[in-house]
Amino acid sequence: MTGSAQPRSERLQGRRATINDIARLASVSKKTVSRVINQSPFVKEETRARIDAVIQQIGYIPDPQARGLAFRRSFLLGLVYDNPNAQYIVNIQDGALDALRGSGFELVVHPCDRLSEDFVPGVRRFVERQKLHGVIFLPPVSEDQALSRALQEMDCQYVRIASVRMDNTSRMIVSNDREATAEAATYLEALGHRRIGFIAGPPQYRSTHERQIGFMNALEKRGLVIPSELIVEGAYSFESGVACAEALLAQRPRPTAIFACNDEMAAGVYKAAYRLKILIPEELSVIGFDDSPMAARLSPALTTIRLPIREMGRLAASKLIPSNAPEEGDTGGAARIMLHLVVRDSSQPPSSPAG
């Protein structure tokens, strides 16, 4: 830097130095300069020294008003969702707040309709209005590529929670739903169930496809194929679980087990079975997905796949807190969430070995 130094007035032609000037002269990004000015520890010492030298050389003085705006921006994280499962949202929020406790950051939420024409513009306005430091996207919003591109254009950090990796690993919390449903399918088949009903989620959710693929592939490996009439589409809601279970249990022969792609729908299966006077698990085994608080409170207690939703919220928020951020140039890694089957009282071998 010293070899290319020029008189200050000549280089800047009489105008006030800006952060862009520093970035250009130090051959770094504007974001890196901002980190140095705001005393972030996540900058290499060599880079910091070069930037400090340029600042001293050109006499740069930060604009207090602009710096104040940036300061306010850095203490708000957004949570954007379009999800019918209220308990899922609450658990994610609780996890995010766990991470933010004591950090000085606050969480603001933005429910939206991803099918609306105003979906992406609406999220952009939310980010701009709140001057967000970063955003957590929940499925299925997290699966929208146009939204992630919009945030990149705005230079706003974000973390996506999804069932598969869909972005740079530093921006992902991945739950690997296929592996989890494969475990549930293998468990049911090992119990002796052959006629198994499957309640899927909405087709617009990536998790719906991941969970169904994992479940069906595991059964096929064990020589069992579920007929199409035993696969029904739910909406990740209790009411849809009731309706889907009624349709499955009206069939003859009826299934001896039902797997529901979330606990809300599994609870709906309980309601349908109660109406039809079908005993769980004596006449019908039921498995859910999430291990939400209701799972252990149902009677009998629900066998389900444990998805650590609160932990996912905590990890997502942690990725966005500056003190936890990787140094520039370090892409970090996707947080891989381990799911597993929790066996409780809603599952047992079928009353007839043939199912």
- Tens-digit pLDDT profile for residues 28-80: 988 888 878 766 666 788 898 898 888 888 877 765 445 444 544 558 999 99
Q: Please indicate, yes or no, if residue 353 is contained in any of the structural domains.
A: no
Q: Please indicate, yes or no, if residue 213 is contained in any of the structural domains.
A: yes
- 57 token code pair: 């050389």
Q: Is 24 found in the same domain as 137?
A: no
Q: Is 27 found in the same domain as 8?
A: yes
Of 38-52, 210-224, 260-274, 321-335, minimum mean pLDDT range: 321-335
Amino acid at 185: A
Quick one: average pLDDT of 162-189? 92
Q: Is the pLDDT of residue 111 over 90?
A: yes
- Contact call for residues 29 and 51 (beta carbons, < 8 A): no
Residue-wise pLDDT for 149-174, tens only, equals 999 988 899 999 998 888 888 899 99
b/e sequence 7-39, b meaning 16+ C-beta within 10 Å: eeeeebeeeebbbebbbebbebeeebbbbbbee
Q: Please indicate, yes or no, if residue 85 is contained in any of the structural domains.
A: yes
- Cα-flanking dihedrals φ and ψ of residue 345, to 5°? -100, 0
Q: Is 56 found in the same domain as 100?
A: no
Can you give the residue range of the structural domain that contains 19?
Answer: 2-69
Q: Is the pLDDT of residue 327 over 80?
A: no
b/e sequence 215-250, b meaning 16+ C-beta within 10 Å: bbebbeeeebebeeebbbebbbbbebbbbbbbebbe
Q: Please indicate, yes or no, if residue 268 is contained in any of the structural domains.
A: yes
Q: Please indicate, yes or no, if residue 344 is contained in any of the structural domains.
A: no
pLDDT-derived band at 277, boundaries 50, 70, 90: very high
Q: Please indicate, yes or no, if residue 355 is contained in any of the structural domains.
A: no
Q: Is 138 found in the same domain as 44?
A: no
Count CB-CB contacts under 10 A for residue 113: 11
CA distance 263 to 346: 12
Q: Is 319 found in the same domain as 171?
A: yes
Q: Is 252 found in the same domain as 294?
A: yes
CATH of the domain at 24: 1.10.260.40
Q: Is 235 found in the same domain as 198?
A: yes
Q: Pick from 69, 100, 127: which residue ends a domain?
A: 69
Q: Pick from 53, 69, 85: which residue ends a domain?
A: 69
Q: Is 318 found in the same domain as 243?
A: no
Quick one: average pLDDT of 291-315? 94
Q: Is 296 found in the same domain as 197?
A: yes
Q: Is 302 found in the same domain as 263?
A: yes
Q: Does 152 or 14 have the greater pLDDT score?
A: 152
**Element housing 110 (H / E):** strand 106-111
Alpha helices in the chain (DSSP H): 8-12, 19-26, 30-37, 45-58, 64-73, 86-100, 119-130, 145-153, 177-191, 206-221, 238-249, 263-275, 293-297, 309-320
Q: Please indicate, yes or no, if residue 45 is contained in any of the structural domains.
A: yes
Residue 226, pLDDT score:
96
Share of the chain above pLDDT 90, in %: 62
Q: Is the pLDDT of residue 16 over 90?
A: no
CA distance 147 to 151: 6
Count of domains forming the chain: 3
Q: Is 91 found in the same domain as 42?
A: no
Of 99-113, 235-249, 283-297, 341-355, minimum mean pLDDT range: 341-355
Residue-wise pLDDT for 226-267, tens only, equals 999 999 999 999 999 999 999 999 999 999 999 999 999 999
Q: Please indicate, yes or no, if residue 317 is contained in any of the structural domains.
A: yes
CATH of the domain at 141: 3.40.50.2300
Q: Is 280 found in the same domain as 186?
A: yes
Residue 44, pLDDT score:
85
